[in-house]
């Protein structure tokens, strides 16, 4: 297998050349990023209060402006009115547009789940009909999968679609489709409904007879975005609005959600960067005990922890952008095999997409929470932005598959790849279970920058493979019922991928202007992630192994971890915090 294949990071270290890093953006990519950031800072952030008060006229005016700047066109091929940008540019635009949670939700829905089903699964006619207006922002997209009684268990949906007697229309009945983003102002929506032998996807236009939109939900956060239920009562749509194959809509739903998850992780990165800026600004301005609170060690540590989270997430997000670019961009949208190939490629990176979603949404949540803390009592009142950041961040752990569901999916998808022979996981795990008994990590430790971190990643990989082997041996098919274990497996996999990416990024930056701080950020990232892997692996071994096997495994894990000497976390974090305070923004 290639080191760029989905899940390959579990088996061996990637060649640094195959990992894209944020420091490799080209001039064109930076221009798109700047244009998106300027728009958000100059046009959207100053009118946050109006957006939050649901001024949809303003919201949509800004949305159309964004369209005129070509910032909704990235993923759409030129023949359908788009720009067919590389996936790194589209990720960067997505990141920079995340400065206002409500507006970002509308836009992300448009460029993600609202338009990608048609792009990847539409017929030529459907693409020609719908994509140009979605690309320009003239039309707004939406995606309706969730129902009142089917949330995480999305495939239990009850909305039905039947062909009319004359065979000319699909007739949709049911609802409510629940929590549909952009519901108040969408033009085109992908709707999932039950057909004879499965689930099918349909394109539904806003004036479809028999469709009605419910009231706006009163939400905790992203209050300026639209979220309503949608009902279908003998709703008639043309026969040709079936999207993809009949009864195969689940493939569309799941694969589009994979991309949506990855995009959500990138948007979380963007939001985190805007939020840390406010946290730094406030910490510099707020004086207590005769000095700015930014001078205090505990506040510095909070800022440094935020930056470590952002830096490690950024590494992962753009590594994935590079992987998706290589996988998806070369596909010819006019080829008859486009859908099939796109599906295969997207499915190949489903693990990485879920990892980015879970890690990104949790890093963002931690940052928003600590920002409230830095604002103190003012963090708790509406006159200051911190409480909105916290409210707006919360949803990311819920939509695009809750983090619980994604934590179940990560090991499940890895096992599926292993069973299909796409990942030599079982063979590697078997080898490792013997190797970890005799291996002496201390003897492998080399001199030099990142040597300990590189070894820590190697040892982490062995631990992760060993626990995967343990649980497969003990539970086999029944592993799916052991949710607490699956959650821990997901956590060690996420930590391994993040740590490996951090080390590779710092390694690639050696000798550059950014080298010193990247080295520190990689050291701090690995210190945290290696300890997570060790702790969770112990917890897994305590359940998945018994008797002598348990003793041997636990002591092997101890040996794989105990050689590692924590760096001076406090001094290193102070350096990161001082840089943040000097630059007044995330600057690594």
Ligand X SMILES: Cc1cc2nc3c(=O)[nH]c(=O)nc-3n(C[C@H](O)[C@H](O)[C@H](O)COP(=O)(O)OP(=O)(O)OC[C@H]3O[C@@H](n4cnc5c(N)ncnc54)[C@H](O)[C@@H]3O)c2cc1C
Confirm if 39 and 100 have CB atoms less than 8 A apart: no
Minimum distance from CB of 146 to ligand X (Å)?
3
Q: Are strands 141-144 and 188-195 parallel, antiparallel or unpaired?
A: parallel
Stretch that binds ligand X, among 75-83, 137-145, 243-251, 432-440 (CB under 6 A): 137-145
The CB-of-54 to ligand X minimum distance in angstroms stands at: 14
Binding segment for ligand X (CB under 6 A), chosen from 144-152, 322-330, 356-364, 503-511, is 144-152
Stretch that binds ligand X, among 234-242, 336-344, 378-386, 394-402 (CB under 6 A): 394-402
Determine the length of the chain. 588
Tokens of 372: 């409230």
Closest separation in Å from C-beta 407 to ligand X: 8
Q: Which stretch binds ligand X (CB under 6 A): 17-25, 141-149, 290-298, 503-511?
A: 141-149
For ligand X, the closer of residues 143 and 282 by Cβ is 143
Cβ neighbors of 534 (< 8 A, separation 6 or more) are 463, 557, 560, 561
Q: Give the shortest CB-180-to-ligand X separation in angstroms.
A: 5
Contact between 66 and 39 under an 8 Å Cβ cutoff? The reply is yes
For the chain, the C-alpha Rg in angstroms (whole number) is: 24
**Residue 412 contacts ligand X per CB under 6 A:** no
Does the footprint of ligand X cover residue 3 (CB under 6 A)? no
Residue (8 or 145) nearer to ligand X, CB: 145
What minimum distance in Å lies between the beta carbon of 446 and ligand X? 43
- In the complex with ligand X, the residue whose CB is nearer, 200 or 227, is 227
- Decide if residue 483 touches ligand X (CB under 6 A): yes
Asked if 213 is part of the footprint of ligand X (rule: CB under 6 A), the reply reads no
- C-alpha closest to that of 554 among 529, 573, 535, 570: 535
Pair 89, 97: CB distance under 8 Å: no
Q: Does 143 bind ligand X (CB under 6 A)?
A: yes
Pairing of strands 211-216, 188-195: unpaired
SS3 174: strand
How far apart, in whole angstroms, are the C-alpha atoms of residue 492 and residue 582? 35
Tell how strand 227-238 and strand 211-216 pair up: antiparallel
| Least distance between ligand X and beta carbon 486 (Å) | 9
Tell me the closest approach of the beta carbon of residue 438 to ligand X, in angstroms.
38
352: which 2 tokens? 């990485």
Number of Cβ atoms within 10 Å of the Cβ of 473: 15
Which of 60, 79, 155, 398 contacts ligand X by CB under 6 A? 398
Nearest to 227 by CA among 181, 265, 262, 275: 181
CA–CA separation, 36 and 187 (whole Å): 24
Given candidates 19, 108, 308, 395, which one binds ligand X under the rule CB under 6 A? 395
Q: Which of 144, 193, 450, 576 binds ligand X (CB under 6 A)?
A: 144
Output the smallest distance, CB 568 to ligand X, in A: 39
145 touches ligand X by CB under 6 A: yes
* Apex 417 CA angle, 108 and 198, nearest 5: 65
The site that binds ligand X (CB under 6 A) totals a number of residues, namely 20
Other C-beta atoms closer than 10 Å to the C-beta of 421 total: 9
- Dihedral sign of CA atoms 413, 418, 422, 425 in order: positive
Residue number with CB closer to ligand X (13 or 150): 150
Span near ligand X by CB under 6 A; candidates 121-129, 164-172, 321-329, 398-406: 398-406
Exactly one of 400, 453, 482, 579 is catalytic; which is it? Answer: 400
Interacting span for ligand X (CB under 6 A) from 22-30, 174-182, 321-329, 458-466: 174-182
CB 485 within 8 A of CB 542: no
Q: Which of 389, 301, 570, 364 is nearest to 293 (CA)?
A: 301
For this structure, is 400 an active site residue?
yes
Query: Which residue lies nearer to ligand X by CB, 176 or 467?
Result: 176
Binding footprint of ligand X on the chain (CB under 6 A): 109, 143-146, 151-152, 179-181, 219, 227, 395, 398-399, 401-402, 404-405, 483
Catalytic residues: 400
């Amino acid at each position: 297998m290639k080191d760029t294949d989905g899940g390959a990071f579990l088996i061996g270290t990637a060649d640094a050349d195959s990992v894209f890093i944020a420091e490799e953006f080209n001039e064109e990519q930076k221009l798109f990023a700047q244009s998106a950031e300027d728009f958000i800072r100059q046009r959207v952030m100053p009118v946050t209060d109006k957006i939050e008060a649901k001024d949809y006229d303003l919201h949509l005016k800004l949305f159309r402006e964004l369209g005129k700047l070509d910032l909704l066109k990235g993923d759409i091929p030129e023949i359908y009115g788009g720009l067919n940008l590389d996936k790194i540019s589209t990720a960067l635009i997505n990141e920079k547009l995340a400065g206002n949670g409500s507006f970002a939700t509308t836009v992300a829905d448009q460029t993600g789940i609202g338009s990608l089903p048609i792009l990847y699964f539409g017929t030529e006619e459907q693409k020609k009909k719908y994509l140009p207006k979605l690309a320009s922002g003239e039309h707004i997209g939406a995606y309706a999968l969730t129902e009142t009684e089917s949330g995480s268990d999305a495939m239990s949906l009850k909305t039905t679609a039947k062909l009319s007697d004359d065979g000319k229309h699909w007739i949709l009945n049911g609802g409510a489709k629940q929590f549909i983003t952009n519901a108040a102002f969408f033009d085109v929506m992908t709707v999932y409904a039950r057909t004879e032998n499965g689930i099918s996807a349909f394109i539904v236009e806003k004036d479809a007879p028999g469709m009605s939109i419910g009231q706006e939900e009163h939400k905790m956060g992203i209050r300026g975005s639209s979220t309503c239920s949608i009902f279908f009562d003998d709703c008639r749509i043309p026969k040709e609005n079936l999207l993809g194959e009949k009864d195969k809509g689940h493939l569309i739903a799941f694969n589009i959600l994979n991309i949506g998850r990855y995009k959500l992780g990138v948007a979380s990165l963007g939001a985190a960067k805007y939020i840390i800026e406010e946290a730094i600004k406030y910490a510099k301005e707020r004086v207590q005990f005769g000095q700015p609170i930014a001078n205090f060690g505990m506040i510095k540590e909070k800022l440094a922890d935020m930056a470590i989270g952002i830096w490690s997430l950024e590494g992962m997000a753009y590594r994935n952008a590079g992987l998706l670019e290589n996988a998806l961009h070369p596909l010819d949208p006019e080829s008859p095999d486009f859908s099939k190939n796109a599906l295969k490629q997207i499915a190949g990176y489903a693990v990485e997409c879920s990892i980015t979603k879970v890690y990104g949404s949790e890093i963002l949540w931690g940052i928003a929470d600590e920002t409230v803390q830095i604002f103190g009592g003012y963090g708790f009142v509406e006159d200051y932005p911190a409480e909105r950041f916290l409210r707006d961040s919360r949803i990311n752990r819920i939509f695009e598959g809750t983090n619980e569901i994604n934590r179940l999916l990560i090991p499940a998808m890895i096992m599926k790849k292993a069973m299909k022979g796409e990942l030599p996981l079982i063979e590697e795990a078997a080898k490792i279970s013997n190797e970890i008994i005799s291996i002496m990590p201390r003897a492998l430790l080399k001199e030099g920058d990142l040597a300990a971190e590189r070894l820590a990643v190697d040892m982490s990989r062995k631990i992760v493979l060993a626990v995967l082997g343990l649980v497969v041996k003990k539970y086999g098919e029944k592993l799916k019922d052991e949710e607490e274990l699956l959650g821990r497996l997901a956590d060690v996999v996420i930590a391994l991928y993040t740590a490996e990416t951090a080390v590779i990024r710092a390694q690639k930056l050696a000798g550059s202007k950014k080298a010193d701080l990247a080295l520190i950020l990689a050291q701090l990232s690995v210190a945290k992630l290696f300890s997570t892997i060790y702790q969770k692996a112990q917890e897994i071994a305590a359940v998945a192994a018994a008797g002598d096997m348990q003793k041997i495994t636990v002591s092997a894990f101890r040996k794989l971890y105990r050689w590692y000497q924590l760096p001076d976390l406090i001094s290193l974090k102070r350096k990161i915090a001082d840089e943040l305070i000097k630059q007044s923004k995330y600057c690594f």
